[in-house]
Amino acid sequence: MDTGQVLKEVPELTRDLLYSWEAQGYISSDKDLIGKKGYYRRNYSPKVIDKIKKMFEYYKQGMAPRAASKRANQDISQGPSLFET
């Protein structure tokens, strides 16, 4: 999924915030070279998109990016609960 699609999936997320999190190492993307001018298109895996969504929810609640990333990683590693419906 490219950047535009991610921003549609997470409506309040901004491109600047997404790229900032990537620059800080909280998330990562694969980059495809486009054209001769050397532009890159970022592609995010489903696992990274899941982390972005979780991280953004914690971020909106007031957590700093580092804490939001750590909490999102914990959520992802635990997986869904048997009692969730």
Query: How many domains are there within the chain?
Result: 1
Residue type, 21: W
Q: Which domain holds residue 49?
A: 3-78
20, two tokens: 């900032």
pTM: 0.84
| CATH number, residue 62 | 1.10.1660.10
pLDDT value for 85: 45
Domain annotation covers residue 15: yes
pLDDT value for 32: 86
Domain annotation covers residue 23: yes
Closest CA to 51 of 62, 65, 61: 65
pLDDT value for 84: 52
CA 79 from chain centre, in angstroms, equals 17
pLDDT value for 1: 94
Domain annotation covers residue 60: yes
Domain annotation covers residue 84: no
Domain annotation covers residue 24: yes
Q: What is the pLDDT along the chain (85 residues), one digit of tens a residue?
A: 999 999 999 999 999 999 999 999 999 999 888 877 778 889 999 999 999 999 999 999 999 999 999 999 999 988 765 555 4
75, two tokens: 């959520």
pLDDT value for 49: 96
Residue type, 51: K
